[in-house]
Structure 1
Amino acid sequence: MTNVVAATPGLFPLPDWAKVELSDLKGHQKGDLIDGDEGPKIESVYERARTEVIERQQEAGLDRIVEGQLRWDDMLAHPLTVHENVETHGIVRYYDNNNFYREPVVTGELTASGDMAADLEQASDIEGQQGVIPGPYSLSTLATDTYYGDEFLTAVADFLAGELEGFPEIETLFVLEPSLVEEPPNSEDGEDRAASEAIDTVAQAIDTDVVVHTYFGALSEKMHAHLLDADIDAVGYDFVTDHEDSLYNINEYGTKDDIALGVVDGQNTNVEDAATIRERIEWVQDNTPAADFETVYATTNTGLFYLPTNRFETKLDALAEAAALAEEVTA
C-alpha cells in the first residue's frame, strides 16, 4: 500500500498583518533590500507569524508541518545572507520572476551559524515536523564566491551539513534544488556528478528521510541519473511545469522507492480542487508501471511565497484533502 503524504516545500508568504508590522519596523516586504537586523519587536512578529502558519497547516490537515521560513527575506539565499563571513550586495532577480534577493558574496570561511536550526527549535514540539533547506548546488549558484575558488560547491555542501548537525529531530527534510533545472550543471565538465556528490554530503549529515525537490521544469537526463546516485530517499518532480519530461525521466531511468510529486502550482493564484490534485497523483502512479512507491509526497511544485495569503491557505486545504482522498484509493 502506498503512503500518500501531504507536504509543502515551505517558503511561505508572510501573513498580511505581519507584512504591515514588519514594514513599519524595518521598512521591507519579503524580497526587498533590508539591513538584516532583528530586534525583540521584530522577533516577536516572526514568532507570532510562525505560530499562525503552523496552526494553519495543522487545521488544513497536512501530514508534514514546516515552520514556514518566514524570516527568509532572501528566499533560498537566506542561510548565506545572514552569515558573518558573507557580504550582501545589490538586489538580484530570483530566477525568472519578479522576486528579488540580496546577492550574498562569500568573503570568508562558512562556519555553521545555527540560524536554521534555531527556527526549527521554535517549532520542535509539533508532530510531523519537516525541515527545509536550500540545496548546495542552488545555494552556490545564487551566491558569489571570493574565498574558496574551485572548492566552493564542496564548501557550501559542508556548510549545510554542519547546519544540519544542529537540527532538532525532524520527520522529513526537503532539500530545494531549482538550480539543477534553471542553471543545470555542465555534464562535460563533470559538474553534474559534483552536484550529486554535494547533495550526498548534505543528505548523510542527518538521520531522517531526505527529499531533494527540483522545480521550474524537468531535470536533464544526465543530471537525473547522477542525482539518483546520491544517498537520498526521494526526488521531487515538477509535474506542473513539465509533466512529460518528468515522467520520461522516471520511466527511462527509474527513481527512488519514495517520490515527491509537485502537483499543485505554487506560483499561480488559480486554486486546484482536491479532485483535480488527486487525479494528478493517480495519473503519475498509473503512468509509472515499473514503480511501486512506498511513499508519495503530494506537494506544491515550488515554494509558496509567490501567493497572496488567502490563495496560499486555500491551496493548503486542497492539497491535504487530495492526499487524504488518494490515501483512501490506495488503501
Structure 2
Amino acid sequence: MTELVATTPGVLPLPDWAKDRLGSLKGHQKEDLVDGDEGAEITDVYAEARAAVADWQTTAGLHRIGEGQLRWDDMLAHPLCVHDAVETRGIVRYYDNNNFYREPVVSGELTFDGDLADDLDAFVAMENAPESVQAVVPGPYSLADLATDEFYGDEAAFLDAIANFLAGEVRAFPDVETVFVLEPSLVTAPPDDDLAERASEALDSVADATSADVVVQTYWGALTEKVHAHVLDADVDAVGYDFVTNHEDNLYNINEYGTKDDISLGLVDGQNTLVEDPEKVAERVAWVDSQIPASEFETTYLTTNTELFYLPVNRTTAKFEALAEGAALAEADA
C-alpha cells in the first residue's frame, strides 16, 4: 500500500506578531529582512517565527515539516534577490495574482551564497527540531523565468547557471527527508522543445545535489504533453500535479505518459480561504486513485496546490489539519 505523506510546498505566511515586531524595529526597511545581513533583533524574530511554524505543522500532524521560508518576501525569486551579483529593481507582479516581488537582475556570476542552507541549519538546530524535515527551493526554470539576465547573455546559458547555482545551494543543506522543487513557470510559461530539455537537465542538476527524495511540484494548471515528458526524464523521485486548478489535463498526462514511482497531489487550494473538510481530502485521494489504472505508488504526497503565503495564519493551520486528517482517513479507507 502506498505511504501517504501529508505536507505542503512551504513559503508560509509570516505571523502577524512577527510582522509587527519587524515593522517596529528602528530604521527597518524591507531590504533589511531579505538581504542576508539582518541584525540580531531581526534574526531573533525569524528564529521565534520559525519555531512557531514548526509547531503549527507538528501540532496539525503533517508528516514532513518545513522551515517555512519566512524570509522570502520575494517568494520564489528570493535566492537571487539576496545574492551579491544581483541587483533588485522595480516591483513586478508575481504570476497572475495580487502579489509582487522585486525584479532580480543578474549582473555577475552566480557564485555560492548559502542563504537557504543558513535558514535550514538554524531550523534543524532549534530546540525540539522536527525529525522529518522538508526543504523547499525554487525550480531552476521558474527562477530563471522570474529573473532578468544581464550577464550570461543567452537563455540556455542563463538556465544552466541558475541550475548550477541552486545545486550548490542544495549541496550545502543539512540532512533533510525531502526537497520540494517548485516549478510553476513550467505551466504558466512553458519552454519550447530545446529549452524544455535543458529544463529537465536543470532539474537533474538540483536533484543530483542531494540524497533526499526530490519532488518537482508544478501548479497553476497542467504541463503541456511535451514538457511533461521532459520533466519525467529528469532524475527526480516524484512529480506534483495541481488537481485543484486542472484535474482533467493532469490526469490525461499521467494516464497517457505515466509518471514517477512516487506522486504528489495538490488537493487543497493554497490560495482560497475556504477550508476543505478532511473527508473531502480523503475523497479526492480515492478519486485520483480510481482514475489512474493500476496505480500503486510507493509514496503519495498530499499537499496544497500552491504556496501558502497568500492565506492568513488561521486558514493556513486549518489547511494543515485538513491534509493531515484527510491522509489518516484515506489510509483507513484504503
Q: Which range, TM-score by smaller chain?
A: over 0.9
* Within-5 A mapping of 1:21-170: 21-25=21-25, 36=35, 37-124=37-124, 125-150=129-154, 151-170=157-176
Q: How far off is 1:81 after superposition?
A: 0.4
Structure 1, residues 237-274: CA drift from partner, whole Å, max 9, x if none? 00000000000000000000100000000000000010
CA contact (8 A) 1:33 1:102 kept: no
TM-score (norm 2): 0.95
TM-score (norm 1): 0.96
Local SS of the residue matching 1:122: helix
Distance (whole Å) between structure 2 residues aligned to residue 35 and residue 279 of structure 1: 40
Local SS of the residue matching 2:333: helix
CA contact (8 A) 2:33 2:42 kept: no
CA contact (8 A) 2:184 2:219 kept: yes
Distance (whole Å) between structure 1 residues aligned to residue 32 and residue 271 of structure 2: 22
* Within-5 A mapping of 1:199-214: 199-214=203-218
Which residue number in structure 1 is paired with residue 272 of structure 2?
A: 268
Q: How far off is 1:148 after superposition?
A: 0.9
Q: How far off is 1:28 after superposition?
A: 6.6
Q: How far off is 1:328 after superposition?
A: 1.9
Distance (whole Å) between structure 2 residues aligned to residue 321 and residue 295 of structure 1: 17
Which residue number in structure 1 is paired with residue 231 of structure 2?
A: 227
- Opposite residue 6 of structure 1, the aligned amino acid is A
The Cα RMSD (Å) is 1.4
Equivalences, count: 326
2:179 counterpart of 1:180? no
Gaps of 5+ in 1: none
Distance (whole Å) between structure 1 residues aligned to residue 34 and residue 204 of structure 2: 34
Same amino acid, percent of matched pairs: 64
Distance (whole Å) between structure 2 residues aligned to residue 172 and residue 328 of structure 1: 24
CA contact (8 A) 2:34 2:71 kept: no
Distance (whole Å) between structure 1 residues aligned to residue 135 and residue 49 of structure 2: 17
CA contact (8 A) 1:251 1:290 kept: no
Distance (whole Å) between structure 1 residues aligned to residue 306 and residue 58 of structure 2: 20
Structure 1, residues 28-70: CA drift from partner, whole Å, max 9, x if none? 78xx997735211111111100000001100000000000000
CA contact (8 A) 1:254 1:291 kept: no
Which residue number in structure 2 is paired with residue 18 of structure 1?
A: 18
Which residue number in structure 1 is paired with residue 9 of structure 2?
A: 9
Distance (whole Å) between structure 1 residues aligned to residue 22 and residue 239 of structure 2: 35
Note closer, same or farther for the CA distance 1:35–1:120 as it changes in structure 2 (3 Å cut): closer
Q: How far off is 1:186 after superposition?
A: 1.4
Structure 1, residues 60-115: CA drift from partner, whole Å, max 9, x if none? 00000000000001000000000011111111000000000000011111111111
Distance (whole Å) between structure 1 residues aligned to residue 22 and residue 90 of structure 2: 21
Structure 1, residues 201-220: CA drift from partner, whole Å, max 9, x if none? 11111111000000000000
CA contact (8 A) 1:128 1:170 kept: yes
- Opposite residue 91 of structure 2, the aligned amino acid is I
Local SS of the residue matching 2:8: coil
